[in-house]
Structure 1
Amino acid sequence: MRVSTVFSSSILTAALLGSCLTPATAQEQVLNLYSARHYQTDEALYANFTKNTGIRINRVDTDDAGLLARLKSEGAASPADVILLVDAARLWQAEEEGLFQAVKSARLEERIPAQLRAKPSDKGSAWFGLSTRARVIVYNKQTVKKDDVLNYQDLGNPKNKGRLCTRSGSHPYNLSLFGSVYEHMGAEATEAWLKGMVANMARAPKGGDTDQIKAVASGECGVAISNTYYLARMMRSEKPEDRDAMEKIAVVFPNQQSWGTHINIAGGAVARHAKNRDNAIKFLEYLSSNEAQAYFANGNNEWPAVTGVRLSNAALESFGNFKSETIPIATVGANQPLVQKMLDRVGYK
């Protein structure tokens, strides 16, 4: 975990955390950011926000689970103003646990498509998707035919027995995908599909998406699933081994003839006990600007949530146009408890 200089990494209690904040002068504006985005390219986002607004950012960086645990333990004493998380399942969970407050912002409502926001209430939306990524199928070009992996359903088909590799089924990236499939197929068909996936495993689930890509390239697996930004990162890599791996695999955007490819988000929210609420809203609005949206795309290989933003990323552009699903991402997140029970029943670790 990396913690900015204004927070001590040895903080044990919310009270101590509050006392470690760098005092602000009467004129100085601050924003306390809790971020699960561990991407170096985001540094420019934060620097430009401060340059444009004069608002200094104090930041805590750790993973999603760590941030949520910290927010719950801190309670009303939490200094957090904005929370950035990297998956719809986690955003839904945090909203359910009362860690966000609803925000009414005409700019955010205009810029962020309704599909990529929490369900609105009379007080506004609790969170907003800020960037997107597709969850796609990766296959070994030498051992697997493209026609065998055109749809997510093919991952559970016996024709792919002994070929499949994935990260943990309970990882939020997979929970969101499975929550999407549940919405399209219903409970009985989804559980049968997950059971088929377990039967098709080439090895026990382990590692992250990059590990699955490399396992397919090496021949250990024939088929895997990955978020697109991991693939784009390897495509842009200067490491010979990454480029060699990308030569051996191919990518399918699933379900182009039916409901479309599953899209997930990274998003942000105003913390429930934000002390600098106005600054928090300004920051989220800034992240919806064309300038910030371009950083998400060009720096971290994510598609902008805002339509019409010009890209300068050959790797993303090489994926071309594809049909994406249209169900609200909040619905996908809400399905996660149901699919987790299915995973437990079918033995998907």
Structure 2
Amino acid sequence: MFKPIKSLAFATLGLAIAAPVMAEEVNLYSYRQPELLKPLTDAFEAETGIDVNVAYLSKGMVERLTAEGKRSPADLVLTVDISRLSAVVEAGLTQPVQSDVLTANVPAAYHDPDGQWWGLTTRARVVYASKDRVKPGEVTTYEDLADPKWKGRICTRSGTHAYNVALTAAVIHHLGEDGAKQWLEGVKANLARKPQGNDRAQVKAIWAGECDIAIGNTYYMGKMLEDPEQKAWADSVNIVFPVFEGGGAHVNISGVALTKSAPNKENALKLMEFLTSPKAQQIYAEANHEYPIAPGSEPGELVKSWGSFTADDVNLMELAKLRPAALRIIEEVDFDG
């Protein structure tokens, strides 16, 4: 069911029965919870008069769109992580969008060269380091994580999680497959415990003294600081922005794509252009503690306080193409074993 940010006109989507097309609405399938999108959709509705209906999916977006086929009510898909975006594209469920507004708002590294998906915000995959047990400058590169000096000191979530698969793909881009395999073997040898939990669980483990550094996304710092039960975890660590030798910090994105069926294509394009505008970028970045990508937009004050970094300039679609190799190498080294 669509979880209405505005009430919607679809009784059931499980049977892929399309409701009558309404002239002034747009339908969005999202891996992001509706409450995170509500400030954006409220602003878009106020500006355009177009109702936004959001169906939140925890998983199975490709399978659902495939099952619905041409009868799908979805106009847009919004998701986090380049691998999830590319999976929808590779399944043939999207259509290209060419727009001068989108091109002006979204840097080349953050959209598909063929216009199949467009980035909205970025997050960096960083190192959370214990304030008590890690000195400034002890870790500066992703390559450092394989150094034996970190033996028994690193925590991370599963290597096969989309965020770590994307990071491994970036390692392949910089070091090649053989180098990436050696890197993963080195990181595995340095783990304090078997990969488990989410990114916040790794920071909790640092707070509890189980490890000294962890790999995680930047925005989780903001999420933890907002939670009274987790604030102590956040206060126990510093954010370190490692880079690749000869490159920058690994970033991933949230992004949007126009579905192949799109019954409200014109309204969908308006929403895409709005979401990439500096105004919407500012709202989105503030709500989710992420980095806006539109020229002239800036992150919120909390995010700014974490420090600045130079993002790696590889087009994320290139990393998406390396995802199969990344998964294969992760399994070859039995990273989660």
Q: TM above 0.5, one fold?
A: yes
Given that 1:182 and 1:335 are in contact with CA atoms closer than 8 Å, whether structure 2 keeps it comes out as yes
State the match for 2:124 in structure 1: 134
Partner Cα separation in structure 1 for residue 10 and residue 329 of structure 2: 41
Given that 1:153 and 1:193 are in contact with CA atoms closer than 8 Å, whether structure 2 keeps it comes out as yes
Q: Give the superposition deviation at 1:298.
A: 1.3
Q: Give the superposition deviation at 1:146.
A: 3.9
State the match for 1:83 in structure 2: 77
Partner Cα separation in structure 1 for residue 201 and residue 236 of structure 2: 14
1:43 to 35, 38, 43: 38
State the match for 2:288 in structure 1: 300
2:164 to 168, 174, 187: 174
Q: Which string of whole-angstrom CA distances, capped at 9 and with x for unpartnered residues, describes residues 247-297 of structure 1?
A: 321221002763111011000010011111111111100001121101112
Partner Cα separation in structure 1 for residue 277 and residue 254 of structure 2: 15
State the match for 1:6 in structure 2: 8
Partner Cα separation in structure 1 for residue 174 and residue 255 of structure 2: 23
Partner Cα separation in structure 1 for residue 161 and residue 74 of structure 2: 25
Given that 1:42 and 1:295 are in contact with CA atoms closer than 8 Å, whether structure 2 keeps it comes out as no
State the match for 1:267 in structure 2: 255
Partner Cα separation in structure 2 for residue 14 and residue 335 of structure 1: 33
Q: Give the superposition deviation at 1:191.
A: 0.7
Partner Cα separation in structure 1 for residue 296 and residue 244 of structure 2: 22
Which residues of 2 match residues 246-257 of structure 1 at below 5 A? 246-255=234-243
Partner Cα separation in structure 1 for residue 111 and residue 235 of structure 2: 37
State the match for 1:318 in structure 2: 305
Which residues of 2 match residues 94-133 of structure 1 at below 5 A? 94-120=88-114, 125-133=115-123
Q: Give the superposition deviation at 1:178.
A: 1.0
SS at 2:239 equivalent: strand
State the match for 1:183 in structure 2: 173
Given that 1:256 and 1:322 are in contact with CA atoms closer than 8 Å, whether structure 2 keeps it comes out as no
State the match for 1:228 in structure 2: 218
State the match for 2:25 in structure 1: 30
Q: Give the superposition deviation at 1:147.
A: 3.7
Residue 148 (structure 1) aligned with residue 150 (structure 2): no
Which range moved further: 102-111 or 316-325?
A: 316-325
TM-score by length of 1: 0.90
Q: Give the superposition deviation at 1:232.
A: 2.4
Q: Which string of whole-angstrom CA distances, capped at 9 and with x for unpartnered residues, describes residues 21-49 of structure 1?
A: 4x566xx4111110111262420111121
The one-letter code sitting in structure 1 at the alignment partner of 2:66 is K
Given that 1:102 and 1:127 are in contact with CA atoms closer than 8 Å, whether structure 2 keeps it comes out as yes
The one-letter code sitting in structure 2 at the alignment partner of 1:291 is K
TM-score by length of 2: 0.93
SS at 2:286 equivalent: helix
1:340 to 317, 324, 327: 327
The one-letter code sitting in structure 1 at the alignment partner of 2:262 is A
SS at 2:294 equivalent: coil
Given that 1:180 and 1:262 are in contact with CA atoms closer than 8 Å, whether structure 2 keeps it comes out as yes
Partner Cα separation in structure 2 for residue 177 and residue 116 of structure 1: 16
Count of aligned positions: 334
Q: Which string of whole-angstrom CA distances, capped at 9 and with x for unpartnered residues, describes residues 181-232 of structure 1?
A: 1101111110111111222221111111111111112111211111111112
SS at 2:43 equivalent: helix
SS at 1:309 equivalent: coil
Partner Cα separation in structure 2 for residue 7 and residue 222 of structure 1: 51
Given that 1:130 and 1:288 are in contact with CA atoms closer than 8 Å, whether structure 2 keeps it comes out as yes
State the match for 1:215 in structure 2: 205
SS at 1:14 equivalent: coil
Residue 59 (structure 1) aligned with residue 54 (structure 2): yes
SS at 2:272 equivalent: helix
Partner Cα separation in structure 2 for residue 24 and residue 75 of structure 1: 16
Structure 2, unpaired ranges of 5+: none
Q: Give the superposition deviation at 1:172.
A: 1.0
Q: Give the superposition deviation at 1:323.
A: 1.7
The one-letter code sitting in structure 2 at the alignment partner of 1:31 is V
Q: Give the superposition deviation at 1:10.
A: 6.5
Structure 1, unpaired ranges of 5+: none
